[in-house]
Chain A
């Protein structure tokens, strides 16, 4: 299993479980967790998930079935991502969790606290410091580096599902590279809107072989998948699938020759940090329909503000009031 040794996080985890010296970890553990195994899942389950993960890394874009477990949150709240993280995480990891790009939403805060508690790891909001980043809907704006692992929470791993309801059929289509049907959805888009209007879960071709759904990240983030130095892991708990994009893998977004792939763009800059290059959320300010655009990546925005960048909202009373109300 030399592949395991190459992955730092798996390596750390292996050390943790092999040691079974829970006393050593105990100092980080919250009281009352003594009856739980390290990182919540039992070792057999973690092993099974790691095997599926290794297979997924070996066959980029291929959906590997795994025996998804009951988790302490409902399906749809990121059970696939939590299981992946739980089987990869070790005491030396630094964990970041985002939801829609933000570190401070309920789900992100809860999952971060969960792993802080059951795995005794350091948590962070800083993208560069994190070794494992669990995410829903976004890839952080700060460039990822070698050794980092992205864990995506995936609701529907099958890109063909909207058109082909039968699993036996979609598996055969993947096996034989029958991807013409995938373009039907793009055709529908162009026919209805004059352009490829799909914005999230935009299908990609991984390593020239498997068509894959990049989970509901905006297509703005699709180019970040291409030849990324970080390992990208995708976990779908309800659908029981794990798939992966290893570092430095070609990832190409599907398109038509006469309708090339394009990412979203905004006419305004971030109202808080005046960033031009990040993915924007629209925030309504008052009943008169005034609005502002802010970075969806909250840490990226905060970092820019700390560095002295300032958007127009700094001089605007209602925007300031709204922000202070939040804080």
Chain B
């Protein structure tokens, strides 16, 4: 169903993001090697793999935060077609990252300003886009805090006074309020207890579907991948070993490593 929707909205328009033959080495360590994929508008791509398999490095390269050793990342710039993100002038790349992309960090402390209130954190992307009307921004912040199910009377509390799960929800609101075209998520539910994880996943799935976002979700949790992703990429030792529709990869894994991964999940 989700792929049908992705095809509807996406394929005519062409990919929003194209990664070609991307490699990133750290000295002798080959963190990513020859990665290739395309992402269409409205599509959610999951990247799974064990720890150290290069998922996060790949995400950092794709989101323009880390220059690849070779290969390119091309993004559909408005009115400009696909442009190599790393060939853009720094000013334009920073503008893309700020205005058209969102990045949800694994640890909310990395993605939030811990010294300013939750409300200001959520409103900041609007100020970056040039909004200079406090009342408008306040109203939209309230709207988004209620969308991520946070108590509105805590809007002016500092993030450090919220629980980990709540901080993560603040971070998600901050990364969606400016209607980005693509959102990168690095283990969005990592380190949260299971019940909070479930609610957060529910929320994320709902938002991603309703907003028709393109998203890349890095996770080592196959459950998260099953719930959120339309398509899966399985990584091992920096290589993509298997790609396909999520249900297909998880129900009928082809590569030996994927089979191991799937069979390793605890069944309750």
- CB within 8 Å of B: which residues of A? 162-163, 172, 175-176, 178, 180-181, 183-185, 187-188, 190-192, 255-259
A-B contact pairs, 30 of them (CB 8 A): A163-B113, A163-B115, A163-B116, A175-B91, A176-B94, A178-B94, A178-B98, A180-B98, A180-B124, A180-B127, A180-B128, A180-B129, A180-B130, A181-B127, A184-B113, A184-B120, A184-B127, A185-B116, A187-B127, A188-B117, A191-B117, A191-B119, A191-B138, A191-B156, A192-B156, A256-B132, A257-B133, A257-B134, A258-B133, A258-B135
A172 contacts B94, C-beta separation under 8 Å: yes
Which of these, B94, B116, B133, contacts A184 with CB under 8 Å?
A: B116
CA distance A172 to B95 in the complex (A): 12
CA distance A162 to B120 in the complex (A): 14
In addition to A180-B125, A180-B129, A184-B116, 12 A-B residue pairs with Cβ atoms within 8 Å of each other are: A162-B115, A176-B90, A180-B128, A184-B120, A184-B124, A184-B127, A185-B116, A187-B124, A191-B155, A256-B132, A257-B132, A257-B133
CA distance A190 to B133 in the complex (A): 11
B-chain residues with CB within 8 Å of residue A192 when the two chains form the complex: 117, 156
Which of these, A172, A175, A187, A258, contacts B120 with CB under 8 Å?
A: A187
Smallest beta-carbon distance B182→chain A, Å: 20
Q: Does B123 contact A (CB under 8 A)?
A: yes
A-chain residues with CB within 8 Å of residue B94 when the two chains form the complex: 172, 176, 178
B120 contacts A178, C-beta separation under 8 Å: no
Which of these, B90, B91, B123, contacts A187 with CB under 8 Å?
A: B123
CA distance A169 to B137 in the complex (A): 25
Interface residues of B in 77-136 (CB under 8 A from A): 90-91, 94-95, 98, 113, 115-117, 119-120, 123-125, 127-130, 132-135
CA distance A258 to B127 in the complex (A): 14
B116 contacts A188, C-beta separation under 8 Å: yes
Which of B91, B94, B125, B134 has the most A CB atoms < 10 Å from its CB?
B134
CA distance A257 to B134 in the complex (A): 7
CA distance A190 to B156 in the complex (A): 10
CA distance A185 to B119 in the complex (A): 12
A-chain residues with CB within 8 Å of residue B95 when the two chains form the complex: 176
CA distance A125 to B120 in the complex (A): 45
Smallest beta-carbon distance B127→chain A, Å: 4
A181 contacts B134, C-beta separation under 8 Å: no
B-chain residues with CB within 8 Å of residue A258 when the two chains form the complex: 133-135
A-chain residues with CB within 8 Å of residue B115 when the two chains form the complex: 162-163
A-chain residues with CB within 8 Å of residue B123 when the two chains form the complex: 184, 187
Select from chain A the residue with minimum beta-carbon distance to B94: A176
CA distance A256 to B95 in the complex (A): 22
Which of A185, A188, A190 has the most B CB atoms < 10 Å from its CB?
A188
Smallest beta-carbon distance A131→chain B, Å: 39
Smallest beta-carbon distance A254→chain B, Å: 9
Select from chain B the residue with minimum beta-carbon distance to A196: B134
CA distance A184 to B155 in the complex (A): 14
CA distance A255 to B127 in the complex (A): 12
B-chain residues with CB within 8 Å of residue A180 when the two chains form the complex: 98, 124-125, 127-130
B-chain residues with CB within 8 Å of residue A162 when the two chains form the complex: 115
Closest 7 CB pairs of A and B: A180-B128, A180-B127, A256-B134, A183-B127, A257-B133, A176-B91, A187-B120
CA distance A172 to B113 in the complex (A): 18
A-chain residues with CB within 8 Å of residue B134 when the two chains form the complex: 187, 190, 256-259
A188 contacts B98, C-beta separation under 8 Å: no
B-chain residues with CB within 8 Å of residue A187 when the two chains form the complex: 116, 119-120, 123-124, 127, 134, 137
CA distance A257 to B133 in the complex (A): 5
CA distance A304 to B115 in the complex (A): 45
A-chain residues with CB within 8 Å of residue B124 when the two chains form the complex: 180-181, 184, 187
